[in-house]
Amino acid sequence: MSRRSSIVHRPSSIVLKRWLYACLALLVLIEAVAPRFLYHDHAHFPFEDWPAFGSIYGFFACAAIIVVSKLLGKLWLMRPENYYGP
């Protein structure tokens, strides 16, 4: 009895996945380094000069929005199962 291998575990998929991760790592590196050489505007606050500040700030802001919305859903929007009747 032979099992068909999953598309995720095929050698061609593994190579493609490695290439995609390598490209992603390269993009992260470029995003962190390139503004130092290409963007010469002065920051309003000292932390704005940190490498990849915008990306890190955006990630944590998005995560905070998700957490707060889940809390609002649990504490304020959800009703008990028997809310509309017995």
Q: What's the whole-number mean pLDDT along residues 15-23?
A: 93
Contact 51, 32 (CB under 8 A): yes
User: Rounded to an integer, what distance in angstroms lies between the CA atom of residue 44 and that of residue 20?
Assistant: 35
Name which residue leads in pLDDT, 3 or 34. Answer: 34
Domain regions of the chain by residue span = 1-40, 44-86
Helices (H), the chain: 11-38, 53-72
pTM: 0.55
CA angle (48 as vertex; 44, 54 as ends), nearest 5 = 130
DSSP three-state, residue 1: coil
Instruction: For 38-56, write each residue's pLDDT tens digit.
Output: 777 778 888 888 877 888 8
